[in-house]
Amino acid sequence: DARVTQTPRDKVTEMGQEVTMRCQPILGHNTVFWYRQTMMQGLELLAYFRNRAPLDDSGMPKDRFSAEMPDATLATLKIQPSEPRDSAVYFCASGFGNTEAFFGQGTRLTVV
């Protein structure tokens, strides 16, 4: 059945290293969201794309985070350089327009 696929599921990296997270949205969905989940802040919207164009990335620390959609089947979220405070679960979700979003299983990032 259709689902959002995220890789890797888990990532442990050292502070200062570059981290790239990948997402394959559900085929046919034109909107892709990146969320970050922490115990303290809950689910935070980092950025989202519509038809591969970035619409809003105001939730993202601009100096170290970047999000792209090289094609309709791939969205990436990159952190460079990573810091311990970036440790969280990062979710990708896709949908059609601003209707219900369907989430992937997440990437659990630990920066040591």
Partner 1 sequence: GQQLNQSPQSMFIQEGEDVSMNCTSSSIFNTWLWYKQDPGEGPVLLIALYKAGELTSNGRLTAQFGITRKDSFLNISASIPSDVGIYFCAGQLSEGQNFVFGPGTRLSVLP
Q: Which of 34, 49, 65, 91 binds partner 1 (CB under 8 A)?
A: 91
Residues 13-52 that bind partner 1 (CB under 8 A): 33, 42-43, 45, 48
For partner 1, give the closer residue by CB, 15 or 43: 43
Instruction: Mark the segment that binds partner 1 (CB under 8 A) among 21-29, 64-72, 80-88, 92-100.
Output: 92-100
For partner 1, give the closer residue by CB, 45 or 81: 45
Whole-angstrom distance, CA of residue 78 vs CA of residue 85? 15
* Backbone CA torsion sign across 55, 42, 62, 19: negative
Whole-angstrom distance, CA of residue 112 vs CA of residue 98? 36
Q: Is 102 exposed, middle or buried (0-12, 13-18, 19+ CB in 10 A)?
A: middle
If one asks whether residue 105 binds partner 1 (CB under 8 A), the answer comes out as yes
Q: Provide the binding-site residues for partner 1, judged by CB under 8 A.
A: 4, 33, 42-43, 45, 48, 56, 91, 93, 97-98, 100-106
